[in-house]
């Protein structure tokens, strides 16, 4: 059987990072280049998170009693 | 002759007789509690009565503390008691050692007693409850591998948050073998590092069917697992001791699945919102830079204009000064410049009779000769 592949890794971290970036962009005085870089990073993470949620499929594995 | 007794001797005799009768030891008496007094010493005094008769009872503090319920007047009970005689009054009474509410089975009493005992140990304390992970990646499920429960959990997770892996540790969920299997399943999941959360679930059933979830070993195991655990045993109205020991009790297996994961739809909505916020924030940054550069451009243009104006003024000043210095303007006023021998005539010393003079006036030259 296909072994589990940990594609779920870091969803929570990503979500938190997006929030952090949005806050930074809103409240900190940043250079234009830095602002663009933060936005690009956040935008990429949003797309990754969305894809993660939209393409995920429930996986089931049964433990064999030892 | 018949023997004569003092009252005291009589009462003592009856007391000895009653207390030594084997068939009157630890007897069970059914009746209703009345005239109940709880003395400040902690002892209870009451009567047990039925429609025709009543008997005095004492329940001492030590036994009262072990009761699974607080006796009240009107309770229909079965008392387990020894018989004694109160010498000063010569009346006999029951020394109650245990009280059961009538109509509640032995199972229920054991349930209540075990519950009280484990509660007293602090096993159900809110402080012991572990928080559930918000975004579990692997959920361990202990339940029967066949039947509606695992299917319900699967369907609920597929719909709500499929980004999770289910690790099913199959176990029987009723009968004599169940407790050992449930314990093994729980411990094997608890030992796996990738498991974030455990769900222990069973569908509805009779009190007897659900009974293994009141097993002391199982309850203790649930209370002391390292991983957080959600229990969902039976229907909404069923409470087992496992439910009290779990970190969260769900009313049904479906509800347990719902409680174990976030909602995908809500998360997607949150992402939409975040995306909009990001775009808005970026627009605000861009706009402020736009404004800033506009201001800079305006400032530069102003500075340039001012400098141009200054230079123009300077130029005009210079020009008028030059105009003032121009010899031609002097000529126009009637002065002339005269040259002699190719040199400018500035002194009479240069002049001599017969010499040629050449004079510049405003609009040309006049040649002349010196007469004297």
* Chain B: closest CA distance from residue A50 (Å): 6
Is residue B116 in a domain?
no
User: Is ipTM strictly over 0.85?
Assistant: no
| C-alpha to C-alpha distance for B197 and B133, rounded to whole angstroms | 7
pLDDT band at B103 (very low <50, low <70, confident <90, very high): low
Local confidence band at B76 (pLDDT 50, 70, 90 cut-offs): confident
pLDDT band, very low/low/confident/very high, at B266 (cuts 50, 70, 90): very high
Decide if A62 and B281 are in contact by the 8 Å CB cutoff.
no
Backbone angles phi, psi at B28, to 5 degrees: -110, 130
Residues of chain B with pLDDT > 90, as a percent, come to 61
Q: Is the pLDDT of residue B130 over 70?
A: yes
Q: What is the CATH number of the domain that holds B75?
A: 2.40.50.140
pLDDT digits (tens, 9 = 90+) for B34-43: 999 999 998 9
Q: Which residues of chain B neighbour A29 with C-beta distances below 8 Å?
A: none
pLDDT-above-70 percentage for chain B: 98
Tell me the pLDDT tens digit for each residue of A2-59: 333 334 458 889 999 999 999 998 888 888 889 999 999 999 999 999 999 999 888 9
Instruction: Please tell me if residue A2 touches chain B, with a CB cutoff of 8 Å.
Output: no
Query: Residue B348, Cα to own-chain centre: how many angstroms?
Result: 116
Segment B300-308 mean pLDDT: 93
B228 and B150 in a common domain:
yes
Is residue B188 a part of any domain in this protein?
Answer: yes
Using a CB–CB cutoff of 8 Å, tell me whether B263 touches chain A.
no
Q: Are B154 and B139 members of one domain?
A: yes
Residue A27 structure tokens: 């409240």
* CATH at residue B248: 3.40.50.10550
Whether B300 has its CB under 8 Å from any CB of chain A: the answer is no
Indicate whether B303 and B351 sit together in one domain: no
- Residue B218 — very low, low, confident or very high, per pLDDT cuts 50/70/90? very high
CA distance B363 to B366: 10
Residues of chain A with C-beta less than 8 angstroms from the C-beta of B185: 63, 65
Q: How confident is the model at residue B106 (pLDDT cuts 50, 70, 90)?
A: low
pLDDT at B289 over 90: no
Q: Which of B238, B262, B286 is the last residue of a domain?
A: B262
Tell me which residue range forms the domain holding B354. 328-369
Which residues between 33 and 52 in chain A have a beta carbon less than 8 angstroms from any beta carbon of chain B? 35-36, 39, 42-43, 46, 49-50, 52
Residue to substitute from B278, B280, B288, interface A, most A β-carbons within 10 A = B278
Question: Are residues B11 and B67 located together in one domain of the fold?
Answer: yes
Residues of chain B positioned with their CB less than 8 A from the CB of A22: 274, 277-278, 281
Residue B255 inside a domain? The answer is: yes
Is there a single domain that holds both residue B364 and residue B304? no
Question: Could you tell me if B164 lies within 8 Å of chain A, comparing CB atoms?
Answer: yes
Q: Residue A16's pLDDT is what? A: 92
Interface of A with B in 3-32 (CB under 8 A): 4, 6, 8-9, 11-12, 15, 18-19, 21-22, 25-26, 30, 32
Does residue B278 lie in a domain region? yes
- Residue with token string 């008691």: B81
Contact yes or no for B185 and A58 at CB 8 A: no
Interface of B with A in 181-210 (CB under 8 A): 181, 184-185, 188-189
Determine the residue among A58, A59, A61, A66 to mutate to test chain B binding: the one whose Cβ has the most chain B Cβ atoms within 10 Å. Answer: A58
Residue B120, pLDDT above cutoff 50? yes
Whether residue B349 lies inside any domain: the answer is: yes
Residue B337 belongs to a domain: yes
The pLDDT-based confidence of B334 (bands split at 50, 70, 90) is confident
* Contact call for residues B248 and B230 (beta carbons, < 8 A): yes
Residues of A in contact with B168 (CB under 8 A): 60-63
Chain-chain contact of B278 with A46 (C-beta, under 8 angstroms): yes
Is B147 domain-assigned?
A: yes
Using pLDDT thresholds of 50, 70 and 90, give the confidence band for residue B349: confident
The whole-angstrom separation of Cα B7 and Cα B172 is: 67
Minimum distance, in Å, between the CA of residue B293 and any CA atom of chain A: 12
Residue B354: per-residue pLDDT:
86
Instruction: State the DSSP string of B149-203.
Output: HHHHHHHHHHHH--SSEEEEEE---SSTTHHHHHHHHHHHHHT-TT--EEEEEE-
- Pair (B140, B238) in one structural domain: yes
**Cβ B131 vs Cβ B229: under 8 Å:** no
Question: Between these two residues, B57 and B237, which has the higher pLDDT value?
Answer: B57
Of B263, B122, B127, B143, the residue nearest B198 (C-alpha): B143
pLDDT at B163 over 80: yes
Residue B43 DSSP code: -
* Separation in Å, CA of B216 to nearest CA in chain A: 22
CB-based contact (8 Å) between A1 and chain B?
no
Looking at the structure of chain B, the number of domains it has is: 4
**What is the C-alpha separation between B50 and B30, in angstroms, rounded?**
8
* Residue B312 belongs to a domain: yes
pLDDT at A1: 35
Residues B90 and B166 in one domain: no
Q: Mutual orientation of helices B264-325 and A32-55 as an angle, nearest 10°? A: 160
Pairing of the two strands B356-361 and B364-369: antiparallel
Q: Which one of B262, B277, B298 terminates a domain?
A: B262
Provide the number of CB pairs (under 8 Å) joining chain A to chain B: 102
């Amino acid at each position: 059987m296909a072994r589990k592949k940990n594609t779920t890794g870091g969803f929570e971290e990503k979500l938190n990072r997006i929030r952090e970036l949005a806050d930074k962009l809103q409240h900190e005085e940043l250079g234009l280049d830095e602002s663009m870089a933060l936005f690009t990073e956040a935008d990429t993470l949003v797309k990754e998170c969305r894809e993660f949620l939209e393409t995920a499929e429930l996986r089931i594995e049964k433990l064999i009693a030892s | 002759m018949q023997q004569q007794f003092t009252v005291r001797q009589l009462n003592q005799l009856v007391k000895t007789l009653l207390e030594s009768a084997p068939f009157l030891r630890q007897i069970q008496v059914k009746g209703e509690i009345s005239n109940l007094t709880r003395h400040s010493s902690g002892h209870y005094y009451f009567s047990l009565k039925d429609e025709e008769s009543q008997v005095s009872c004492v329940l001492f503090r030590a036994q009262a503390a072990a009761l699974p319920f607080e006796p009240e007047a009107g309770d229909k009970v079965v008392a387990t008691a020894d018989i004694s005689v109160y010498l000063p009054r010569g009346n006999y009474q029951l020394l109650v050692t245990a009280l059961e509410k009538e109509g509640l089975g032995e199972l229920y009493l054991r349930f209540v007693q075990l519950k009280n005992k484990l509660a007293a140990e602090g096993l159900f304390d809110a402080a012991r409850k572990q928080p559930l992970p918000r975004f579990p990646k692997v959920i361990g499920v202990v339940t029967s591998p066949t039947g509606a429960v695992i299917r319900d959990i699967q369907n609920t997770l597929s719909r709500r948050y499929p980004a999770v892996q289910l690790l099913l540790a199959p176990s029987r969920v009723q009968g004599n073998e169940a407790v050992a299997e449930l314990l093994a399943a729980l411990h094997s999941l608890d030992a796996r590092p990738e498991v974030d959360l455990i769900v222990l679930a069973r569908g509805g059933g009779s009190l007897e069917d659900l009974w293994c979830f009141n097993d002391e070993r199982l309850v203790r195991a649930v209370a002391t697992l390292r991983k957080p655990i959600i229990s969902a045993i039976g229907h909404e109205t069923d409470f087992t001791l496992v439910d009290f020991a779990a970190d969260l009790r769900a009313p049904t297996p479906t509800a347990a699945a719902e409680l174990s994961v976030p909602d995908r739809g809500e998360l997607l909505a949150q992402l939409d919102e975040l995306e909009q916020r990001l775009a808005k924030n970026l627009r605000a940054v861009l706009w402020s830079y736009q404004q800033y550069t506009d201001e800079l451009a305006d400032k530069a243009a102003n500075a340039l204009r001012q400098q141009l104006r200054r230079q123009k003024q300077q130029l005009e000043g210079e020009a008028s000064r030059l105009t003032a210095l121009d010899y031609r303007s002097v000529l126009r006023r009637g002065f002339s410049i005269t040259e002699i021998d190719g040199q400018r005539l500035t002194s009479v010393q240069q002049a001599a009779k017969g010499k040629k003079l050449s004079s510049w006036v405003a609009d040309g030259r006049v040649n002349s000769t010196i007469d004297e």
